[in-house]
């Protein structure tokens, strides 16, 4: 199908506030000049500051939707957010890789909501599979510690095929500065703590902005840098916990 915008796919949860999850992802994709599509993995009961409960969508439904969309539309990249467990994540990535081996896959490892609701433990985690099949993984500092350990230098030892972006919001030495591991090397993406200001859904917005820039053909480093600028504008957009999206093409 012809479209003057490239297609970008988000797989994640439905947040009724539209601050996070697929609704926030679609806002981000559209604002950055691509055409957003979404597959819902869960229906959440939450506000911008409270996570109450979640109803999960079956993996069979998710895979059918993924197969239908990928056989119809030409996706250069997709982002995976909230999923029920690591086994389902493995299946989603396997289907996507089978349908398009060149697809760029960004995984935002949502292990716990900002309000403290736990989604996952390391049970059934196949870290080697994720490192081999994701283009980019975007943990915050706490998520990185859960998945890999406390010291980012472990990546030099493991030499994952995937790139890793350690988001700096929880970083103790340089709060706000992100750390990108790619091609065996670390580089910093400068940022500010903004006096502790944040927004509901910043991780979703950042990972989706990166995915959108990758969809549009930008390099990984450039995609991460431009997405950082976009999410900083999102954080500073107002004084509430729900951010506004601004044109940053």
Instruction: Report the relative pairing of strands 104-107 and 35-46 from DSSP bridges.
Output: unpaired
Domains of the chain by start residue, with CATH? 7-162+193-235 (3.40.1190.20)
* Mean of pLDDT over the chain: 91
pLDDT in tens, 97-151: 999 999 999 999 988 655 455 655 555 578 899 999 999 999 999 899 989 988 9
Print pLDDT tens along the chain (249 aa). 557 899 999 999 999 999 999 999 999 999 999 999 999 999 999 999 998 999 999 999 999 999 999 999 999 999 999 999 889 999 999 999 999 999 999 999 988 655 455 655 555 578 899 999 999 999 999 899 989 988 999 999 999 999 999 998 767 777 778 999 999 999 999 888 887 788 999 999 999 999 999 999 999 999 999 999 999 999 999 999 999 998 765
Q: What is the DSSP letter of 242?
A: S
**Percent helix / strand / coil, the chain, rounded to 5:** 40, 20, 40
C-beta pairs of 153-159 under 8 Å, 24+ apart in sequence: 155/181, 155/186, 156/184, 158/131, 159/184
Q: Which two tokens stand for residue 208?
A: 């989706």
Q: Tell me what pLDDT residue 249 has.
A: 53
The CA dihedral of 112, 114, 115, 118, to the nearest 10 degrees, is 0
Distance between CA atoms of 119 and 43, rounded to whole angstroms?
14
H or E element, residue 9: strand 7-14
Q: Tell me what pLDDT residue 191 has.
A: 85
Q: Which two tokens stand for residue 136?
A: 């980019």
> pTM of this prediction?
0.94
H or E element, residue 16: none
Compute φ and ψ for 82, nearest 5 degrees: -70, 125
Q: Tell me what pLDDT residue 218 has.
A: 98
Q: Tell me what pLDDT residue 117 has.
A: 53
Q: What is the DSSP letter of 186?
A: E
> What b-and-e string marks burial along 81-94, b requiring 16 or more CB atoms within 10 Å of the CB?
bbbbbbebbbbbbe
Q: Tell me what pLDDT residue 114 has.
A: 54
Q: Match 């990546």 to its residue by tokens.
A: 155
């Amino acid at each position: 199908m012809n479209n003057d915008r490239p297609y970008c796919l988000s797989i994640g949860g439905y947040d009724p506030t539209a601050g996070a999850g697929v609704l926030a992802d679609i806002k981000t994709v559209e604002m950055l000049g691509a055409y957003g599509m979404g597959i819902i993995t869960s229906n959440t009961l939450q506000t911008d500051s409270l996570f109450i409960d979640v109803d999960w969508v079956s993996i069979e439904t998710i895979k059918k939707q993924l197969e239908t969309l990928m056989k119809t539309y030409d996706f250069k990249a997709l982002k995976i957010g909230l999923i029920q467990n690591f086994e389902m994540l493995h299946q989603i990535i396997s289907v996507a890789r089978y349908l398009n081996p060149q697809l760029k896959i960004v995984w935002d490892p949502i292990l716990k909501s900002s309000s403290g609701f736990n989604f996952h433990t390391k049970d059934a985690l196949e870290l080697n599979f994720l490192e081999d099949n994701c283009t980019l993984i975007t943990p915050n500092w706490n998520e990185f510690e859960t998945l890999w350990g406390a010291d980012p230098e472990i990546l030099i030892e493991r030499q994952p095929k995937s790139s890793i972006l350690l988001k700096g919001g929880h970083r103790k030495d340089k709060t706000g500065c992100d750390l990108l591991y790619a091609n065996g090397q670390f580089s910093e993406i400068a940022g500010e703590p903004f006096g502790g200001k944040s927004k509901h859904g910043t991780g979703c917005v950042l990972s989706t902005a990166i995915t959108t820039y990758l969809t549009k053909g930008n390099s990984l480093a450039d995609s991460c840098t431009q997405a950082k600028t976009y999410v900083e504008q999102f954080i500073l957009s107002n004084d509430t916990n729900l951010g506004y999206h601004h044109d940053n093409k």
